[in-house]
Amino acid sequence: MDTADPEPALTVRLHFLSFKPWNERKRTADEIIKSLYPKLWSIPGINAFPFTPLMLPGSGGSYPINFAVETMGDYAELNKIMQQLVKAAKANPRLMNVDSDLKMDQSQIDIKVDRNKVGDMGISIGDVGDAISMALGEPEFNWFTVNGRSYYVIPQLEAQYRKQPETLNWLYLQPQNGGELVPLSNLVSISENRPTAEP
């Protein structure tokens, strides 16, 4: 099965492959996956790696090592540092599936919140952040367990709406005093640009 968001800004694909039954093959899933690494890495122009889907929280996750890099500078500076970090990590033969979620070839949306208006309207700044996150992102609010497997609770709009900054014009917030709903578009300003990636 091939899954992907409609009209993604960056070409990203996730494929699911089903192995033959145990009695029809001699190798384990891990052995098959290990044999795929050199074949996928030899394909120019793509960053591909196979992995075995695991149960969500409590299963150990598919990435045992994660780094969070922060900066007070701009995204171009952060990207330069991330490229150096990824290059160094890939040079270590004990690390596999090295990747960064900072993609500089995607459009960037700058959202500025007018805190004075938010306060005047009696709306919580936290509610503004939650609304933006659910409209354009994939927030993880909680997780639950069913039949021994754990799943994230991710409240979000359909992909076609998350791709449109104009979606914020359709959202309304409830003031803390219970007054009339306030359009989120009255509280924020939106600008879109495409950052230039460092070579």
Residue-wise pLDDT for 138-161, tens only, equals: 666 677 777 777 777 777 777 777
Q: What is the pLDDT of residues 163-187, one digit of tens each?
A: 777 788 888 898 888 888 998 888 9
* pLDDT over threshold 70, residue 196: no
Secondary structure (DSSP) of 49-102: -------STTS--S-S-------SS-HHHHHHHHHHHHHHHHT-TT--S---S-
- CATH class of the region 108-193: alpha beta
Residue-range domain boundaries for the chain: 67-106, 108-193
Distance in Å from the first CA to the final CA of the chain: 34
For position 110, what pLDDT does the model report? 80
- The angle subtended at Cα 120 by Cα 114 and Cα 122, nearest 5°, is 105
Of 125, 148, 144, the C-alpha closest to 54 is: 148
pLDDT of residue 54: 59
* Segment 5-60, tens digit of pLDDT: 444 445 667 778 888 888 898 888 888 888 888 888 788 877 787 877 655 544 44
pLDDT value for 4: 46
Q: Which amino acid is at 139?
A: P
